[in-house]
Structure 1
Amino acid sequence: MQPSERDILIALHHLPGLGPQTWLKLEQLIQSPVDLLDWPKAKLIQGLGENGAQLFCQWRANRQGWLGARLDALARWLEQEKRHVVTILDDLYPPLLKETSGPLLLYVAGDPLVLNLPQIAVVGARKATAAGLKTAHHFSQALASGGYGITSGLALGIDTQAHLGALAGLGKTVAVLGCGLDKIYPARNTALAAEMIGQGGAIISEFALGVQPEPGHFPRRNRIISGLSMATLVIEAALKSGSLITARQALEQNREVFVIPGSIYSEVSAGCHWLIREGATLVDKPEQIAEQLGSQLALFAQPEPAVQSVAALTARQRKILQLIGRERVDFEELLSLSSLSVAALHQALGELEMLGAIASCEQGIERRFT
């Protein structure tokens, strides 16, 4: 069976060194990723490099080799509940991130629909002051309770309090990692990551499973944080810090940047004051952010993708949707009714959730359309 455009894109993403820039060059040479299945090796070397072409040719021949093993590991990961891959070919790919030439795909643990909510990035120092931690929690709680998603990087300090504040506001929060999703970093935030997913949020990464956190990964991670968000709020940042990189990237992406001022004697406020001098907006109340962004919501909020008719589904998907019926059902009940294996049911439910046909939470699974 010939792989689909999406299958090939996922395979390409796993090739060492192939990122958005290489993909943009490839797009100019092909009408579809499927075209690469017919390219001779010499031509593939020009587009993918010698190592990438060798790995792709091995996979193209029999779906095996190094690349085949990586994709098999991904398939096993996707069998787990609430595990997804969202590619630039999918309707669920965040439109704001696509504007910034974002990664070819995102690995998602949680609900991928949350990526299309109006989001505010909240970033700051790992070694934050007590006042900074309190501010991050307060602003994130207020903004999340007002309907904004809160996006950060799951790091210690300000990031952690941003996620906790969003949860306290009964909102949704997204963490972007600089490593594969099979390794939560930092490890001490593993329980927090699970709580975020349980409340309808997500943990995401552009890095494949097995990729370790490396210093060079975090600027790329930060670019996704700002790219997903309609605005970035900086709470305590030194002049040389990842938070300042995120803010600069937000400005380059033509997004709003808000800053909390601090003491002139504090190193973790020096970056914030620099941003203010460069034109970022000083705020001291969450309401000021909401007021300034309120008029932009109609421009940035995206409709949730949804399948328009049952006819668009496969036979197995239609059967499962019929079994769910009009009431919320739990997984065990659906497993008994469907006679599918646990892995097969997880995969089918993941597909339906990606299509917007169902919604799942800790209380069960329910239909989203008739």
Structure 2
Amino acid sequence: MAPSDTGVLRWLALADLPGIGPVGAWRLLARAEGRIESLFEHADAVLASWGLNEAQRVALRRPPKMGALAHDWMQRPDHHLLTPDHPLYPPLLREIPAAPLLLWCRGRVEALSTRQLAVVGSRHPTFSGKENARRLVQALVAAKVAITSGLALGIDGVCHEAALDAGGITLAVLGSGLDSLYPKRHLALAERIVAQGGVLVSEFFPQQGPLAEHFPRRNRIISGLALGTLVIEAAEQSGSLITARHALEQGRDVFAVPGALQNPQALGCNRLIQQGAKLVLDIADIVGELGWPGAPVSMTASMPEAEPPGLLSISLLDNVDYETTSVDVVAARAGLSIESVIGQLVELELAGLVTSVAGGYVRRGG
């Protein structure tokens, strides 16, 4: 659909109507029998009876100020503007309450209608959280599932990168306009997503910067594009839980990876499971629930071959958590000197049983 088409201009005018968000816009459309053309055919008196004030009625009749910008923007390579009546507008997203009136897209828009799982999590993940994200995403890609996330720092970024590294498709939904990409640290990642057949998506005008109120709106699109949402590490007040709530309201499945009670980044996931989310240990728990074909791949990474550690080092392993554990804590638990513990931890690391991270060591899966 060309940006000069009357239909696109009408959607632009509706989206830019002052004081009317997506919820209010769809209420107006419902009064107009769901047809954007019908909305513009009604007299001012009818629009006033529907609650539009004079300024809103004038704005609705005026050519949208974003019309020229949209026209120029769509002339750029791989730039697309989808409206709800566009044939490439993703069907699953069209089903949700207050679906976006505009989808500004950069990349391969056909990816919007592929089989997707939304994967979200903490902006400050632990080593285990990042490792779980990589393993699950790589297994999902092997099962021909596209990965949808929010391009945020932390788990979102890890998931996008893991999908790309595995040769898969990933979709990034932004809380800013596509020409004001946030966070700036992920500019190169965004370019890689587009280059490898994925797509960047936003309902915000291209020049809009990130605002706090944009991100809950962004989250409903992340969950709305997919049949299910997987949460990997989330604190109790995490934005990832907003995405999970949107998924439930949209009638989609919610999955969560459990975590240690001592890990504050796992409390949100544990709560979700307590409230009925599907506990995930492997992607079989996801593809089986959603009825997707594809051979599940084990989350457990194979350990590199190495000389087996001695008995003392093996006994020390029980004192290292799957979260970051300092050398002091390991020594105190084992009742050994720090010097002795350091040597044994090095031996365990060479055997692939622990990994050195900032602040200490973490125990590896397997």
**TM-score for both structures, normalised by structure 2:** 0.74
Q: Secondary structure at the match of 2:194?
A: helix
The residue that corresponds to 2:256 in the other structure is: 259
Shift of 1:58: 3.0
Q: Secondary structure at the match of 2:189?
A: helix
Cα 1:28–1:160, aligned 2, differ >3 Å: closer, same or farther? closer
Q: Secondary structure at the match of 1:232?
A: strand
The residue that corresponds to 1:126 in the other structure is: 123
Correspondence 1:1-370 to 2 at 5 A: 4-30=6-32, 32-45=35-48, 46=50, 48-59=52-63, 67-68=64-65, 70-101=66-97, 102-295=99-292
Q: Check conservation: 2:279, 2:285, Cα contact below 8 A.
A: no
Q: Secondary structure at the match of 2:59?
A: helix
Of the structure 1 ranges 7-16 and 218-227, higher mean CA displacement relative to structure 2 is found in 7-16
Rounded to whole Å, the distance in 1 between the matches of 2:61 and 2:116 is 40
Q: Secondary structure at the match of 2:62?
A: helix
Q: Check conservation: 1:19, 1:104, Cα contact below 8 A.
A: no
The residue that corresponds to 1:333 in the other structure is: none
Q: Check conservation: 1:261, 1:272, Cα contact below 8 A.
A: yes
Choose 1 or 2 for highest CA Rg. Answer: 2
The residue that corresponds to 2:343 in the other structure is: none
**TM-score for both structures, normalised by structure 1:** 0.73
Q: Check conservation: 1:179, 1:211, Cα contact below 8 A.
A: yes
Shift of 1:292: 2.4
Of the structure 1 ranges 96-105 and 18-27, higher mean CA displacement relative to structure 2 is found in 18-27
1:292 partner letter: E
Shift of 1:8: 1.1
Shift of 1:44: 4.2
How many residues align structurally? 288
Unaligned runs of 5+ in 1: 60-66, 298-370
Cα 1:167–1:295, aligned 2, differ >3 Å: closer, same or farther? closer
Shift of 1:41: 4.3
Q: Check conservation: 2:13, 2:59, Cα contact below 8 A.
A: no
Q: Secondary structure at the match of 2:134?
A: helix
Rounded to whole Å, the distance in 2 between the matches of 1:3 and 1:162 is 38
Rounded to whole Å, the distance in 2 between the matches of 1:35 and 1:251 is 32
Q: Percent identity?
A: 43
Cα 1:72–1:268, aligned 2, differ >3 Å: closer, same or farther? same
Q: Check conservation: 2:122, 2:240, Cα contact below 8 A.
A: yes
RMSD, matched Cα: 2.0
Q: Deviations over 1:44-84 (max 9, x none)?
A: 4545443332323332xxxxxxx33x221121111110000
Cα 1:172–1:75, aligned 2, differ >3 Å: closer, same or farther? same
Unaligned runs of 5+ in 2: 295-366
Q: Check conservation: 2:178, 2:202, Cα contact below 8 A.
A: yes
Cα 1:249–1:229, aligned 2, differ >3 Å: closer, same or farther? same
